[in-house]
Amino acid sequence: MSVDTTCISTIRTLAADVVAKSNSGHPGAPMGMAPAAHVLFSQFLTANPSNSKWFNRDRFVLSNGHACVLQYTMLHLLGYKISMDDLKLFRQLDSLTPGHPEANHTDGIEVTTGPLGQGFANGVGLAIASNHLAAVYNKPDFELLNNFTYVFCGDGCLMEGVSAEAASLAGHLQLGNLIVVYDDNHISIDGDTAIAFTEDVGARFLSYGWQVLHVENGDSDLDGINKALNEARAEKSKPTIIRLRTTIGFGSKEQGTHGVHGSPLKADDIVALKTKFGFPPDEKFYVPAEVYKFYGEIAQKGASAEAKWNSLLAAYGQKYPTEHAELTRRIAGELPQNWEKALPVYKPTDSAQASRKLSEIALTSLAAVLPDLLGGSADLTSSNLTKVKGSVDFQPPATKLGTYAGTYIRYGVREHGMGAIANGLAAYGGIIPFVGTFLNFVSYAAGAVRLSALSRVQVIWVGTHDSIGLGEVSCLSTTFGVTNELHSGPTHQPVETNAHFRAIPNLAFWRPADGNETSAAYSVALKSKHTPSILALSRQNLPNLEGSTIERASRGGYVLIEEEKEDLTIVSCGSEVTIAVEAAKKLKEQGIKTRVVSLPCWLVFDQQDAQYRLSVLRSGAPILSLEALSTLGWERYSHEQYGLTGWGASGPYQKVYEKLGITGANIAVVGKKVVDFYKQKGGEVVSPLVRAL
Amino acid sequence: MSVDTTCISTIRTLAADVVAKSNSGHPGAPMGMAPAAHVLFSQFLTANPSNSKWFNRDRFVLSNGHACVLQYTMLHLLGYKISMDDLKLFRQLDSLTPGHPEANHTDGIEVTTGPLGQGFANGVGLAIASNHLAAVYNKPDFELLNNFTYVFCGDGCLMEGVSAEAASLAGHLQLGNLIVVYDDNHISIDGDTAIAFTEDVGARFLSYGWQVLHVENGDSDLDGINKALNEARAEKSKPTIIRLRTTIGFGSKEQGTHGVHGSPLKADDIVALKTKFGFPPDEKFYVPAEVYKFYGEIAQKGASAEAKWNSLLAAYGQKYPTEHAELTRRIAGELPQNWEKALPVYKPTDSAQASRKLSEIALTSLAAVLPDLLGGSADLTSSNLTKVKGSVDFQPPATKLGTYAGTYIRYGVREHGMGAIANGLAAYGGIIPFVGTFLNFVSYAAGAVRLSALSRVQVIWVGTHDSIGLGEVSCLSTTFGVTNELHSGPTHQPVETNAHFRAIPNLAFWRPADGNETSAAYSVALKSKHTPSILALSRQNLPNLEGSTIERASRGGYVLIEEEKEDLTIVSCGSEVTIAVEAAKKLKEQGIKTRVVSLPCWLVFDQQDAQYRLSVLRSGAPILSLEALSTLGWERYSHEQYGLTGWGASGPYQKVYEKLGITGANIAVVGKKVVDFYKQKGGEVVSPLVRAL
């Protein structure tokens, strides 16, 4: 038996044993893709198992994350920090080997996968990141960055729209460093793919501008796999997909059926499998010594590669000290000194501006000191105002539309793909991605957004047109000098979006009320290396508020208008804070003392100490919340809520606000009603923050 | 000037005038697609403007909904209930002509579009519905249903993953009655499509199995358009996409640029446009008499077609009275008499079952009396348990895998496409679609789900694996007799999903606790003709509760365990109700009288009268909520909340519940803490439902 065959048999039997031990998991794809994994990891993938974070490593993504036993097994055999005991704890509570691969949790896992299609799109992001940083930092004789991104995926990943979006963009961007191995095993959960997936995948990828290769016998044709991977690497101006025909659950009695997709093999099947492979039939978790030795040598090669690279980097530092300092800072994930000075600061006398415009001003200022920023929009650039003036597009040089050193990505109308690509950009390191669309259409990318938060990567969403105030009057785009894309009506107006994103753990949802709050949102978002942020920004102009500062807003919530012995507090955020201030003024004229609290980010506010929070939302008078979106969840911070109870409406924004009662005049009436109600009710009014739990 | 040319010039100038009047909107695509719209509506589309609901009409979908001025103009000229005054109120508050087309709002609008890609996928649903009902009800000599679905779309729609998913499935399903006209105008909002969308669209659709046609001069080659549409109709076993090369904003000085995409034409440009077309340059909203006459004759033809069809239907009734009765009932959107008797009823002594299994039992029983049900799953059939035993797949007969009369759709791993297709199925009429995936992955379809609710169509989502209780132990699928797909870990565990969907207006999010509650969810969902529902169902077994009935649960919330002068009420839903009952029992043993309220559906509960609601969640003692998901929003119904504060975890479900404290024992401890806290606090404990607003 050749060592290659022994290795592959080891991977297959380990996969069967690990899934059987946990009595849960997917043995089929790992057994089917074992040969491809072996060839890739032993002959192509350059990485250092003893330092999984080496920056110029090749990236590997298992987009069909349910096959993670394959990845865990490879990482274990290569010497990453996954022991045999960890493998035996597969899918157990708090283990390093959860049911799907989790980045920032298990050594060697680049991105969190499992939700289908995400890993594929993450891979596009990784490949973009590599091309970008190479274009920025490589110099003649210093090819510091030249790594490949390899993605394994199954038919499920290719059925998902998110991968279709990412694949089309990857073709356009001519990402020659992206190589996808498609496990064409003809089996999905419902049975043969003939029941739902009969498209010509190869032809589809050709239409996207990819190189398409094919290996007919993925079960044992190691030379064929090697040849395909070599061809893929040789094609410098196209991403490659290799259609690898495999047999799911290869070696099992049930191979080639969906019976081996998501269930452990039966005990007698495993015995038969091992016998067939010439392995001790009753020994579990068997790894021949030569297999550890073989992969140990591969790992050694990786360590040498890193050592060589470190020397190259040091020499680079001699010749290009500025670039070296910047690159190593970015690799370390640190922000440059004094970057915060670039945050715009506003006075109440400064002119009113839309917060999307304030965002543009902040980004323009920040981009000058933060080359880490790599922005883009899903074809709404002139609406989102995400393009920094003078910035170059990230485009293949051949198109003459930009360069790979460009810092602005034209994502096309592909929100979900964009979100998942941004997760890949962030996971690569050295890059802080920001992406733009209408707030309402961040929902299209919900699958990617929750994975940003779960996998703790820093992505900043610029979600403009953040409420019913979409307006109907044209405005001039500063970027293009042409009139702007405008929308209106409930199809484009978010309602549930605030509740949706506020309920996601580790996601900072910001609705800044003015210039300083917008700067605060950027400040906190940029400092949060492990928390994604969504900045919900207005289309309509917002005055700069008396009392707002970057520092105060950076606490997530603060008292904007203070009153002794108040009758009422109005808590609000975003464009409605101005309306709250107006209402408070009207109420004061009636002798009703009204405080106003601005609460731009719940996640950040909740992280403040209890004393501070209780000083902001204090007991003694009723608290009324105001937001031109769903009221759901505001009960946490207020006694009474005012907001949308249904959909928005199509019309000029002032009229829409009037129709829905979100005006200073009406909120004053509502506020009076609240005050009267609590007076009549009697008793102490206790802050909603005072809780037993 | 030929009448065709006059008509087209009328459409173009009207579009320019309407957008200019509202000072908002998109003139470019309407002006570019005017010839295609004219040829389609005058030479092909069979419909009756005086009865827009005639069942065998051809369906028209404007997937690029921002171009709705085109649709409103056509509907006006043809005599639908859109007057010239309505056109002049374009994008104004409460008008019949909102910023994007809204179904169930404007006469002749089939589906709500604007969010890109949705209309395309809705069209696939409409075409499926037509094929399905034709296969079920057509008889020799009675071709009752033979209508086409025509979809207009732009490049934005084709960049979106949702349309890619739907297109792949449409090709697989060989939908010969689906014809898409792709406005290939090379312009997106960010500029020329060359910056982001360079794939070969034709080749892509060929790879999906579509017929691809091309009209090079969409601006004036009416014969070419006619020929392509005829070819499309002739191809019976493939959907067709016609790539129509047009000039955006044709006739404007800025034609062919993104300057005409989303902004009104300038006044002098409109004058020049009219002059060029030989129209009175200063007359606004000008419609030559011959144009009204021309379209009036088309409308007459449509009325005759319906009259003829009505005769055919009457004759069909003579020959096939049973089918006739069933079809006309379905067209009327009525449920059959006594259908509710098919709802399963449970006793506490009945064995514990997973609510996904209870759902399967309900569907199996209901399908026997409700042929309206057309189900499916995104490749999780054996997990969602959505396939009724013995049901036939909806498949092209040529595949020999099923027939068009089949009632089960294999959607593939395409959640967003599935959701948007289901919206189309529901919009067609005569069909009640239900679709399955893991609850967590309904989020992938968020864009379609909110449009179900906004456009008031009846879609039922079967969202299984609805919390951290995903389990790790294999179970046998009753449907296939093979072991089941299982997942675990936070990538597949919903957390924010409950808050997300509860915040969407007109969406019923159900988490039934047992058999009777599952039946109640189906009962209310089936009766709600204009409200979509999501049924969040468990993977783990749930005992049948003492005190639950279909009637009680149908009110959305009810008292499950009553106590006089209680110390505590626990309000819960879904799989946690059993845990609440257990905690209540433990608390009672300690002398703490605890009521338990089951609240399976907030939307429905909120619709009950105030007195009832206050009797369920009454004042006098603290209320503690319990749900193994985000607590966000539960503050509306409780004083204290227990649930997830972060992500789930990978592991056996009992251990995950224990780790997170969601056990009867821990909730009893928590409940005691709550009771003590409120005793110490003193004063009356007022129901959270008692509000000023």
Of A190, A644, A656, the CB nearest to B379: A190
In chain A, CATH 3.40.50.970 covers 3-304, 339-542
Q: Residue A154 pairs with which residues in a beta bridge? A: A183
pLDDT at A258: 87
Q: Is B383 annotated as a binding residue?
A: yes
Chain A residues in contact with B410 by the CB 8 A cut-off are 190, 195-196
8 Å CB contact between A470 and A486: yes
pLDDT in tens, A527-555: 999 999 999 999 999 999 999 999 999 99
8 Å CB contact between B180 and B153: yes
**pLDDT of residue B486 exceeding 90:** no
Whether A491 and B65 lie within 8 Å, measured CB to CB: yes
CB atoms within 10 A of CB B51: 13
Of A90, A506, A499, whose CA–CA distance to B647 is shortest? A506
8 Å CB contact between B421 and B122: yes
Whether A24 and B441 lie within 8 Å, measured CB to CB: no
Chain A residues in contact with B380 by the CB 8 A cut-off are 189-190
pLDDT at B352: 97
Of A207, A492, A647, the CB nearest to B199: A207
Whether A380 and B485 lie within 8 Å, measured CB to CB: no
3-state helix, strand, coil split of chain B in percent (to 5) is 45, 15, 40
Whether A503 and B499 lie within 8 Å, measured CB to CB: yes
Q: Which residues contact B98 (CB under 8 A, 6 or more apart)?
A: A488, A489, A490, A649, A650, B91, B105, B106
Selected residue of A212, A403, A496, A617 to mutate for chain B interface (largest B Cβ count, 10 A): A496
- Nearest chain A CA: its distance from B108 CA (Å): 18
Instruction: Please give the residue that has the higher pLDDT: either B683 or A303.
Output: A303
**pLDDT of residue B107 exceeding 70:** yes
One DSSP character per residue, B259-311 reads GGTSSPPPHHHHHHHHHHTTS-TT-SS---HHHHHHHHHHHHHHHHHHHHHHH
The verdict on B395 touching A (C-beta cutoff 8 Å) is: yes
Selected residue of A89, A199, A659 to mutate for chain B interface (largest B Cβ count, 10 A): A199
Whether A489 and B641 lie within 8 Å, measured CB to CB: no
pLDDT at B472: 40
pLDDT at A170: 98
Chain A residues in contact with B190 by the CB 8 A cut-off are 377, 379-382, 410
Of B441, B484, B505, the CB nearest to A495: B505
Residue of chain A with shortest Cα separation from B200: A207
What is the token pair recorded at B46? 């069979």
**pLDDT of residue B649 exceeding 90:** no
Whether B24 and A473 lie within 8 Å, measured CB to CB: yes
pLDDT at B345: 98
8 Å CB contact between A623 and A687: yes
Whether A196 and B379 lie within 8 Å, measured CB to CB: yes
Q: What positions of B carry a catalytic annotation?
A: 415
- Nearest chain B CA: its distance from A307 CA (Å): 36
Considering Cα of A298, then A299, then A301, then A306, what sign does the dihedral take? positive
pLDDT in tens, A291-316: 999 999 999 999 999 999 999 999 99
Contacting B residues, span 418-477, partner chain A, CB-CB under 8 Å: 440-441, 443-444, 446-447, 450-451, 454, 472-474
The verdict on B261 touching A (C-beta cutoff 8 Å) is: yes
**CA A344 and chain centroid, separation:** 26
The verdict on B243 touching A (C-beta cutoff 8 Å) is: no
Where does the pLDDT of residue B487 fall: very low under 50, low under 70, confident under 90, or very high at 90 and above? very low
Q: Which member of A415, A517, A576, A627 is catalytic? A: A415
A496 among known catalytic residues: no
CA distances from B502 to A130, B618, B688 (A): 41, 22, 18
- Nearest chain B CA: its distance from A231 CA (Å): 22
Dihedral, A402, A406, A412, A418 alpha carbons, nearest 10: 160
d(CA B23, CA A104): 50
Instruction: Please give the residue that has the higher pLDDT: either B62 or A94.
Output: B62
pLDDT at A488: 59
Where does the pLDDT of residue A480 fall: very low under 50, low under 70, confident under 90, or very high at 90 and above? very low
8 Å CB contact between A225 and A33: no
CATH entry, A557-681, from 1.10.490.20, 3.40.50.920, 3.40.50.2020, 3.30.200.210: 3.40.50.920
Q: What is the mean pLDDT of residues A500-525?
A: 98
Binding residues of A for thiamine diphosphate: 66, 114-116, 156, 185, 261, 441
Whether B92 and A506 lie within 8 Å, measured CB to CB: no
Q: Is B466 annotated as a binding residue?
A: no
- Nearest chain B CA: its distance from A468 CA (Å): 12
In chain A, CATH 3.40.50.920 covers 557-681
Where does the pLDDT of residue B479 fall: very low under 50, low under 70, confident under 90, or very high at 90 and above? very low
The verdict on A236 touching B (C-beta cutoff 8 Å) is: no
> Under CATH, which architecture does the B339-542 domain have?
3-Layer(aba) Sandwich (3.40)
pLDDT at B489: 82
**3-state DSSP of A385-407:** CCCCCCCCEECCHHHCCCECCCC
The verdict on B389 touching A (C-beta cutoff 8 Å) is: no
8 Å CB contact between A115 and B491: yes
Q: What is the mean pLDDT of residues B2-11?
A: 97
8 Å CB contact between B645 and B632: no
pLDDT at A656: 86
**3-state DSSP of B435-487:** EEEEHHHHHHHHHHHHHHHHCCCCCEEEEECCCCCCCCCCCECCCCCCECCCC
Please tell me the least confidently modeled range out of A94-98, A168-172, A428-432: A94-98
pLDDT in tens, B327-379: 999 999 999 999 999 999 999 999 999 999 999 999 999 999 999 999 999 99
Contacting A residues, span 18-47, partner chain B, CB-CB under 8 Å: 22-25
pLDDT at B488: 59
pLDDT in tens, B111-133: 999 999 999 999 999 999 999 99
pLDDT in tens, A209-247: 999 999 999 999 999 999 999 999 999 999 999 999 999
Of A161, A204, A381, the CB nearest to B416: A161
Chain B residues in contact with A450 by the CB 8 A cut-off are 443, 495-496
pLDDT in tens, A330-358: 999 999 999 999 999 999 999 999 999 99
pLDDT at B650: 80
d(CA B71, CA B63): 11
**Which amino acid does the sequence have at B148?**
F
Whether B91 and A115 lie within 8 Å, measured CB to CB: no
Chain A residues in contact with B22 by the CB 8 A cut-off are 472
Chain B residues in contact with A267 by the CB 8 A cut-off are none
pLDDT in tens, B611-639: 999 999 999 999 999 999 999 999 999 99
Q: What is the mean pLDDT of residues B523-535?
A: 98
Mean pLDDT of chain B: 95
Contacting A residues, span 165-224, partner chain B, CB-CB under 8 Å: 165, 168-169, 171-172, 188-190, 194-204, 206-209
pLDDT at B11: 97
Domain spanning B556-681 has what CATH number?
Answer: 3.40.50.920
Whether B92 and A395 lie within 8 Å, measured CB to CB: no
Q: Is B187 annotated as a binding residue?
A: yes
pLDDT in tens, A450-477: 999 999 999 999 999 998 876 543 333 3
Give the percent of chain A with pLDDT over 70. 97
- Nearest chain B CA: its distance from A671 CA (Å): 10
pLDDT in tens, B83-97: 999 999 999 988 999
**pLDDT of residue A685 exceeding 60:** yes
Residue of chain A with shortest Cα separation from B202: A207
For chain A, the first-to-last Cα distance in angstroms comes to 63
What is the token pair recorded at B401? 């895998």
Give the percent of chain B with pLDDT over 70. 97
**pLDDT of residue A484 exceeding 90:** no
**CA A318 and chain centroid, separation:** 36
Whether A156 and B454 lie within 8 Å, measured CB to CB: no
Mean pLDDT of chain A: 95
**3-state DSSP of B148-181:** CEEEEEEHHHHHCHHHHHHHHHHHHCCCCCEEEE
Of B172, B446, B472, the CB nearest to A23: B472
Q: What is the mean pLDDT of residues A630-656?
A: 91
The verdict on B124 touching A (C-beta cutoff 8 Å) is: no
DSSP-derived pairing of the beta strands A178-184 and A187-188: unpaired
Of A88, A43, A29, A77, whose CA–CA distance to A288 is shortest? A77
Whether A450 and B443 lie within 8 Å, measured CB to CB: yes
Selected residue of B189, B408, B687 to mutate for chain A interface (largest A Cβ count, 10 A): B189
Dihedral, B434, B440, B443, B448 alpha carbons, nearest 10: 0
Helix (H) / strand (E) containing A151: strand A149-154
Where does the pLDDT of residue B468 fall: very low under 50, low under 70, confident under 90, or very high at 90 and above? confident
Chain A residues in contact with B258 by the CB 8 A cut-off are 482
Where does the pLDDT of residue A505 fall: very low under 50, low under 70, confident under 90, or very high at 90 and above? very high
Domain A3-304 is found in CATH 3.40.50.80: no
Q: How many CA atoms lie within 13 A of B203 on its CB side?
A: 14
pLDDT in tens, B234-279: 999 999 999 999 999 999 999 999 888 888 999 999 999 999 999 9
